[in-house]
Amino acid sequence: MSAYEARIDRAGYDAFDLEDAVRDFIATTETQLLADDETFAEGLSDALFDPRTCNRIVALFRDGDLLRAAELMRDHVPTYVAEKAETKADKEFRV
């Protein structure tokens, strides 16, 4: 292997290492955030302001299907946590 090939390989390996570090950081952060009650509550309330879920939840509440509305809010929490973890990773690993 020439020195040139070694430099190319090293850059590739560095990129893979960075990707692994970011993925591990996100996974750890998601676990920590899901365990935090305040973050969980923020995720529930975020479901009411997120355009992807708001209209469906409000419609279910108006129709009296409170259980399904609450389930949609609960199901939104992992999405909220994942987005929050990715934002933290972006700040942590700015290149």
Q: Collect contacts of 16-24 with beta carbons under 8 A, ≥24 apart.
A: 18/93, 18/95, 21/93, 22/89, 22/93
The count of other CB atoms within 10 Å of the CB of residue 82 is: 16
Which pLDDT value is given to residue 37? Answer: 96
The two structure tokens encoding residue 92: 């942590």
Average pLDDT value for the chain: 90
Q: What is the pLDDT of residues 60-69, one digit of tens each?
A: 999 999 999 9
Domain ranges of the chain: 3-92
| 32-53 residue pLDDT tens | 999 999 999 999 999 999 999 9
pLDDT category of residue 3 using cuts at 50, 70 and 90: low
DSSP secondary structure code for residue 74 in this structure: H
